[in-house]
Amino acid sequence: MLASLININKFYNGNQLLNNVSLTIDESDKIGLVGNNGCGKTTLLKILTGSVEPDRFTEKDGIVSIASKTTIGYLEQMNGLDSEKTVIEEMRSVFRPVLDAIDRLREIELEMELGDNSSDDEYQRLSSWIEANDGYNTDVKIRMILNGMGFSGNDLERTCSGFSGGEKTRLCISKLLLEEPNLLILDEPTNHLDFKTIMWLEDYLRSYRGAVLIVSHDRYFLDRLCSSICEIERGVLTRYRGNYSAFVRQRSENDARREKEYEMQQKQIAQLEDYVARNLVRASTTKMAQSRRKQLEKIERIEKPFHDTRSAKIRFTYAVEPPIDVLKVKGADISVGDGDSRKTLVEELSFDVRRGEKIGIIGDNGIGKSTLLRIIQEQLPHKGLVRWNSNVKISYFEQESANLNRELTVMEELHSRYPSMTELEVRGLLAQVRLVGENVFKETGVISGGERAKLCFAIMMQEHGNVLILDEPTNHLDLSSKEAIEEALTEYTGTIIFVSHDRYLLSKIADRLIELTDGECRLHNYNFDKYLDVLREEQAEQKRLADAEKFAKAAEASREKSAKVYRSKQQRSADAARKNEMKALEKEIDDLQEKIDALTEEISREEIYSDYELMNSKCSEIETLKAKIDENFERLIELDE
Convert the pLDDT of each residue in 163-183 to its tens digit: 877 788 889 999 999 999 999
What local confidence, expressed as pLDDT, does residue 600 receive? 77
The mean per-residue pLDDT over the stretch 26-31 comes to 94
| 610 burial level (CB within 10 Å; 0-12, 13-18, 19+) | exposed
Q: Which range, 283-297, 459-473, 600-614, has the best average confidence (pLDDT)?
A: 459-473
| pLDDT score of 565 more than 60 | no
Q: Where are the domains of the chain?
A: 250-298, 325-525, 569-640
Give backbone dihedrals phi and psi of 457, rounded to 5 degrees, phi first.
-65, -40
Indicate whether 566 pLDDT > 50: no
Kindly tell me if the per-residue pLDDT of 77 is higher than 60.
Answer: no
For residue 307, the model assigns a pLDDT of 60
pLDDT reported for residue 374: 94
Local confidence band at 632 (pLDDT 50, 70, 90 cut-offs):
confident
Q: Side chain identity at 339, as an amino acid letter? A: G
For the cut 80, the answer to whether the pLDDT of residue 225 exceeds it is yes
The whole-number pLDDT of residue 536 equals 85
The per-residue pLDDT for 80 is 66
Considering the chain, what is the average pLDDT of its residues? 88
Q: Place 237 in a pLDDT band, splitting at 50, 70 and 90.
A: very high
What predicted TM-score, i.e. pTM, was given to this entire model?
0.71
pLDDT tens-digit profile of 357-387? 999 999 887 889 999 999 999 999 999 999 9
User: Residue 216 phi/psi, 5° resolution?
Assistant: -155, 150
Find the distance separating the first CA and the last CA of the chain, reported in whole Å.
Answer: 60
* Mean pLDDT, residues 196-203 taken together: 88
The SS3 of residue 146 is helix
Distances 392 to 95, 382, 403, 520, 638 between C-alpha atoms, Å: 61, 21, 21, 28, 81
Per-residue confidence (pLDDT) for residue 572, from 0 to 100 = 64
Residues 6+ apart with CB under 8 A from 575: 567
For residue 590, name the pLDDT band (cuts at 50, 70, 90): confident
Over residues 388-431, the pLDDT tens digits come to 999 999 999 998 888 899 999 999 999 999 999 999 999 999 99
Q: Looking at the predicted structure, is the pLDDT value of residue 610 above 70?
A: no
Please give the share of the chain, as a percent, with pLDDT higher than 70. 95
Pairwise CA distance, residues 324 & 45, whole Å: 52
Fold designation for 325-525: Rossmann fold (3.40.50)
* The domain made up of 569-640 is a member of CATH 1.10.287: yes
